[in-house]
Chains A and B, each alone.
Chain A
Amino acid sequence: MRIRHLDCALGVLFLLIADAAAVDNPVPQTVVRIGVTPVFLDHQTAFLDDWREYLETRLQKPVVFKQRSNYREIMELLQAEELDFAWICGYPFIRFRQDLRLLAVPIYQGEPLYQSYLIVPDTDTDTGSILGLRDKIFAYSDPDSNSGYLVPQFQLHALGEDQSNFFRRSFFTWAHQKVVEAVARGVADGGAVDGYVWDTLAKVNPELTSRTRIVTKSEKFGFPPFVARRSVDDREFRRMKDVLTGMPNDATGRALLQRLNLDGFGQGNDRLFDGIAEIFEAVPVR
Chain B
Amino acid sequence: MLSNLSLRYKVPIRISLLILIVALAVTVSLLARSYLMFKQDLFVSSENMGRIVASTLTEALLHDDVWKAYEIINAPFRVDSKEGALQADTVIVLDKSERVYVSTAPREYPILSDPALKDDEIAIVQRELPQHDPASPVMIEMSGLGNIYVVTPIDSDGVLLGRLVMLYSHEIYIDRFLSFVRQAAMTAALIIVLLLPFGVYWGQRTAAPLVELSKSMGQVGSSIPQIPDSRILTDGDEIGQLWAQFQRMIEQLREKEALEKQMVVSDRLAAIGRFTAGIAHEINNPLGGLLNATNTLQTHGAQDPLTSKTVSLLERGLLQIKATVGALLVEAKPETHPVTRQDIEDTRTLVMPAAQKKSATLDWVNRIRQPANVPSTYVRQILINLLLNSIDAVPEYGSISCEISTTDGVLRITTYNEGEKINNNDLEHLFEPFVSGRESGRGLGLWVTYQIVNTLNGSIEVSSDEDDTHFVVTLPLRQAA
Contact = CB atoms under 8 A, between A and B. Distances in A.
B59 to A, nearest CB: 13
B112 A137 contact: yes
A172 B110 contact: no
A237 interface: no
B175 interface: no
A66 interface: no
B66 A171 contact: yes
B112 A169 contact: yes
Contacts of B66: 169, 171, 187
Interface in A171-213: 171-174, 178, 182, 185-189
Contacts of A172: 65, 67
A139 interface: yes
A186 B67 CA distance: 12
Contacts of A174: 67
A182 B107 contact: no
A270 B351 CA distance: 160
A137 B111 contact: yes
B243 interface: no
Contact of B67 (A123, A168, A182, A189): A182
B67 to A, nearest CB: 4
B54 interface: no
Contact of A178 (B67, B102, B111): B67
A177 to B, nearest CB: 12
Contacts of A186: 106-107, 110
B111 A187 contact: yes
B43 interface: no
Interface in B72-119: 102, 106-107, 110-112
Contacts of B106: 185-188
A188 B103 CA distance: 11
Contacts of B111: 137, 168-169, 187-188
Contacts of A187: 66-67, 70, 102, 106, 111
Nearest to B71: A178
A113 to B, nearest CB: 28
Contacts of A173: 67
Interface string B316-358: 0000000000000000000000000000000000000000000
B112 A171 contact: no
B78 to A, nearest CB: 11
A140 B67 CA distance: 10
A172 B67 CA distance: 7
**Quick one: which of A123, A137, A172, A187 has the most chain B CB within 10 A?**
A187
A81 to B, nearest CB: 28
A187 B112 CA distance: 11
A231 B102 CA distance: 44
A169 B112 CA distance: 8
**Quick one: which of B66, B67, B110 has the most chain A CB within 10 A?**
B67
Interface residues of B, number: 11
A172 B60 CA distance: 12
Interface string A71-94: 000000000000000000000000
B65 A171 contact: yes
A178 B74 CA distance: 13
B102 to A, nearest CB: 7
Interface in A110-166: 123, 137, 139
A171 B110 contact: no
A137 B110 contact: yes
Contacts of A137: 110-112
Nearest to B101: A169
Contacts of A168: 111-112
Interface string B411-431: 000000000000000000000
A175 to B, nearest CB: 9
B64 to A, nearest CB: 8
Contacts of B107: 123, 186
Contacts of B112: 137, 168-169
Nearest to B69: A171
Contacts of B110: 137, 186, 189
Interface string A220-244: 0000000000000000000000000
A172 B64 CA distance: 10
A61 B110 CA distance: 51
A139 B71 CA distance: 14
Nearest to B74: A185
A229 B60 CA distance: 32
Contacts of B65: 171-172
Interface in B42-69: 64-67
A169 B65 CA distance: 11
A137 to B, nearest CB: 5
A169 B67 CA distance: 12
Nearest to A170: B66
Contacts of A188: 106, 111
Nearest to B103: A187
B62 to A, nearest CB: 14
A186 B74 CA distance: 13
A150 to B, nearest CB: 19
Contacts of A139: 67
Nearest to B66: A171
Nearest to A178: B67
A175 B70 CA distance: 14
Interface string A93-109: 00000000000000000
A190 to B, nearest CB: 12
A185 B66 CA distance: 14
A256 to B, nearest CB: 29
10 contacts: A169-B66, A169-B111, A171-B66, A178-B67, A182-B70, A185-B106, A186-B106, A186-B110, A187-B66, A187-B70
Interface of A: 123, 137, 139, 168-169, 171-174, 178, 182, 185-189
The list of the 7 closest CB pairs from A to B, nearest first, reads A171-B66, A173-B67, A186-B106, A186-B107, A187-B106, A137-B111, A171-B67
Interface of B: 64-67, 70, 102, 106-107, 110-112
Given A137-B110, A168-B112, 17 more contacts: A168-B111, A169-B66, A169-B112, A171-B64, A171-B65, A171-B66, A171-B67, A174-B67, A182-B67, A186-B107, A186-B110, A187-B66, A187-B67, A187-B102, A187-B106, A188-B106, A189-B110
